[in-house]
Amino acid sequence: MYLTPGLLFSVLGLAALMAPLMTLAANRIVAGEGVMAWDVAALPLVIPGLVAILAGLGLGLLTGRPAVRLAGGVLGLAGLIWLLVQGATAMLDGAGNYARVSPAAGFWCLLVILVLLIADALAALRPRPLARGGLLFAALAVLALVLGSGVLSELSVLQEYASRRDTFMRESLRHLSLSIGSLGAAAVIGFPLGILCHRRAQLKGATLPVLSFLQTIPSLAMFGLMIPILGWVGSTVPGARSIGIAGIGFAPAFLALVLYSLLPVVGNTVAGLASTPPAALEAARGMGMTPAQRLWQVELPLGLPIILTGLRIVLVQNIGLAVIAGLIGGGGFGTFVFQGLNQTATDLILLGALPTVVMALVAAIVMDILVDLTRHGPKDTR
């Protein structure tokens, strides 16, 4: 029997409702006690949220109506946030000055299920690139509105944020510098190298295996290898330490991310240039174009979607890998993750993990939109 995605999401959603939705702990470190969805607040306050979640899962069953399924996913998310808001206030009432309330397994499972329901509905609707960009902007605006309104300020993870606001902003910029900066450096190195590899088969045969080998080194080992190398450079090369090159810190993390980025950039540049139809190249030659003109006016424009796909891989990969930079003093959201692990503070871990996930999702969607814009052309962007 074929199980439709809507039926699967509904079954999983009902199962997730049977798990604790939130936890109440005596302080930020000890494990909390799970609380079911219908117990997080007074029943009259809980019913609207439960009804919205159940209605959203029910609308998700309408396989042939993707727009209705999309509305169902949004309705379910609204109900889930409603329960979180009501529970964050009610559960802390009389619980003590150090008590903490957090989302539990049921919340995270429902969140993933409803997001997958929305993604499945959007895949069926196939919105055009600019429409997807508008939906992404709307989703981020709603998220910013909810977080900025303070209705969730009682949650433990947001209390961790409130006590570290300045540090969080600094590490956010550091994380962006690591992930986007390493992408830019890899592009500056990888694009010319990819073009040369496309032109010279011998160089391609020597370069790609080396870059593939670098990609196979485990991330933690790669970061570790950078420590003695850059430590030696910082201690022996005059002026190196004054510009930040040392065994620990930003420099080894940045260099490791650049090395990881080179294979997707070079490989996709070669693949993109090689994807040019022979007929297009023959037509360009017939028009008297020089090799440089064919490269910039024919090969690069036609291969741009594949090249951008390589950049998408690098950006999403580096946003995730930059978390490990926190282990070697590189900063970023990994600082909170590893501090939380050392203190057994789950919400401090989430303070670093959740922004990383959101940033990676946004980067993936934006890059997918750019790929589609270059692939389909202006007529499909309305």
272-322 pLDDT, tens per residue? 998 888 888 888 888 888 888 888 888 888 899 999 999 999 999 999 999
> Which pLDDT belongs to residue 382?
43
Average pLDDT of the residues in 93-105: 83
120 and 67 in a single domain? The answer is: yes
Residue 155 in domain: no
SS3 1: coil
Number of domains in the chain: 2
232 and 342 in a single domain? The answer is: yes
170 and 119 in a single domain? The answer is: no
224 and 371 in a single domain? The answer is: yes
Residue 131 in domain: no
Average pLDDT of the residues in 114-122: 93
Residue 151 in domain: no
18 and 83 in a single domain? The answer is: yes
Kindly report which listed range (78-92, 101-115, 231-245) carries the lowest average pLDDT score: 231-245
335: left (phi over 0), alpha (psi -120 to 50) or beta: alpha
**Mean of pLDDT over the chain:** 88
109 and 185 in a single domain? The answer is: no
Cα–Cα distance, 130 to 158 (Å, whole number): 32
Q: Which two tokens stand for residue 239?
A: 């002026």
Please provide the size of the chain in residues. 382
Name the percent of the chain lying above pLDDT 70. Answer: 97
Confidence of residue 2 (pLDDT cuts 50, 70, 90): low
Encoded amino acid at 46, one letter: V
277 and 208 in a single domain? The answer is: yes
- List the domain range (segments joined by +) for residue 263: 165-380
SS3 4: coil
pLDDT above 80 for 12: yes
Average pLDDT of the residues in 138-145: 93
236 and 90 in a single domain? The answer is: no
218 and 303 in a single domain? The answer is: yes
Residue 280 in domain: yes
Q: Which has the closest alpha carbon to 222: 195, 262, 168, 174?
A: 262
Average pLDDT of the residues in 176-187: 93
Average pLDDT of the residues in 360-382: 77
Residue bearing tokens 């814009």 = 373
Residue 138's Cβ-count burial label (10 Å; 0-12, 13-18, 19+) is exposed
Q: What is the CATH number of the domain that holds 357?
A: 1.10.3720.10
What lies within 8 Å, CB to CB, of 172 at 6+ separation is 333, 355
224 and 349 in a single domain? The answer is: yes
pTM of the model: 0.87
Average pLDDT of the residues in 100-125: 92
pLDDT above 60 for 376: no
Residue 373 in domain: yes
Residue 211 in domain: yes
pLDDT above 70 for 188: yes
> Which pLDDT belongs to residue 379?
46
Residue 146 in domain: no
Confidence of residue 4 (pLDDT cuts 50, 70, 90): confident
180 and 51 in a single domain? The answer is: no
Helix %, strand %, coil % of the chain (to 5): 75, 5, 20
Encoded amino acid at 232, one letter: W
Q: Which two tokens stand for residue 91?
A: 């559960």
92 and 193 in a single domain? The answer is: no
> Which pLDDT belongs to residue 144?
92
Average pLDDT of the residues in 62-73: 90
Q: Beta strands of 7-123 (E only): which ranges?
A: 22-25, 33-35, 100-103
Note whether 351 and 157 are within 8 A (CB).
yes
Kindly report which listed range (261-265, 289-293, 363-367) carries the lowest average pLDDT score: 289-293
pLDDT above 60 for 381: no
> Which pLDDT belongs to residue 337?
92
Residue 142 in domain: no
Residue that finishes a domain, picked among 103, 126, 149: 126
Average pLDDT of the residues in 81-86: 93
